[in-house]
Structure 1
Amino acid sequence: MPFEIALTDDVTLRELTKDDAAAIAGAYGRNREHLAPWDPARPEAFFTEEWHEEHLRALVLESSTGRALYTVFEVDGEIVGRLNLTDVVRGAFENGHVGYWLDPRFTGRGLMTRAIEALVEHARDELGLHRLQAATLPHNEASQAVLTRAGFERIGFAPGYLKIAGQWQDHVLFQLLLHAN
């Protein structure tokens, strides 16, 4: 059964589908300037429906195998953000990475905190994961506050961790243990 939860009367968090290419391209196009300082440098093709049509199939397949869970925030058919659980590793680790963004028209309403809390519950109860981790740029205080409200704790600092906005940038690392030892 696909993952879906109503966060408010107007905002739903639901699993990404292969039919979301046009809506995803539109969301990234509308939020291009907003996301530029926080995202990897994107090729021009990334902002097209065609690019997303080609790549969504792989993401949906990855979700279906349990290696990831890709979700979107939706308001009246418009995608206004993403929340992803990626790089799921089983075995002794039982871990996944959390990444997210939200259109600035919808920030400040507690949506991301509620969404991450729902993802945490799903990762623990349905996926059986033991740990989630996330990383933010050191100056992204809003993202760090969201993680803290959702129960994550800061566990470290990683120099040159990810190539964001065309440069290798430091990140603050967070984790949330989902099961007691």
Structure 2
Amino acid sequence: MVIDGVEMRGLALGDAAGLAEAFARGRAYMAPFEPVRPEDYYTEQGQRVRIEGLLAERDAGRVVPYVLADAATGAPVGAINLGSIALGPLCSGGVGYWVDPAWHGKGLATAALQEVCRAARDDLGLHRVEAQTLLDNAASQRVLAKAGFEPYGVAPRYAHINGAWRDHRLFQRLLHDDPPAS
């Protein structure tokens, strides 16, 4: 899928160097919204290890990792993962995403979320996709709303972000009401 000159495709080991560069460029911008990361997270080797873990989780059916890459250069400009995949009576998953600040305002996160929800419904048969944001992350909340997500609650001290346990607003998008596949 190509969105405004950006290709959304499956994550690959070859993305390690580009993701390390992109995460390093956006490090200061993302700091208020992310856990404190070890220094090697911003290196090619650190990203290689992280990607190997994501690909192993993909092979086990627990995550579907994607990268958003500049279609002209192949350079990563974002990422989106559908994880915590649960089948059976839950039929749900959680989504997390990131777009390089230089690429903000182009609708990439919204389009990627819509595509992940389509794949979750059509390819995996999921009933529900959820997401969480910090209470004051209005930009991400707007992206979720544009992609059809609705808020459904607040989780106190939900995740350790930027050095402290932080409250999060919970969002969900219901994809269908069919019974789980048998």
Q: TM-score range by the shorter chain?
A: over 0.9
Q: 1:173: how far off?
A: 0.2
Aligned positions, number: 176
- Counterpart secondary structure, 1:36: helix
- Number of the residue aligned with 2:2: 6
- Number of the residue aligned with 1:167: 164
Aligned mates of 2:109, 2:48 — CA distance in 1 = 26
- Counterpart secondary structure, 2:32: coil
- 1:38 partner amino acid: F
Match of 1:53 among 26, 48, 52: 48
- Number of the residue aligned with 1:70: 65
Structure 1 stretches of at least 4 aligned residues deviating more than 3 Å after TM superposition: none
User: What are structure 1's unaligned runs of at least 5 residues?
Assistant: none
Aligned mates of 1:104, 1:55 — CA distance in 2 = 22
Aligned mates of 1:118, 1:54 — CA distance in 2 = 26
Over the residues paired in the alignment, what is the CA RMSD in angstroms? 1.1
Match of 1:96 among 78, 93, 98: 93
Q: 1:61: how far off?
A: 2.0
Aligned residues with identical type, % of pairs: 44
User: What are structure 2's unaligned runs of at least 5 residues?
Assistant: none
1:155 has 2:152 as partner: yes
Q: 1:111: how far off?
A: 1.3
Aligned mates of 2:107, 2:66 — CA distance in 1 = 17
In the superposition, the TM-score normalised over structure 1's length comes to: 0.93
Farther-moved stretch of structure 1 (64-73 vs 40-49)? 64-73
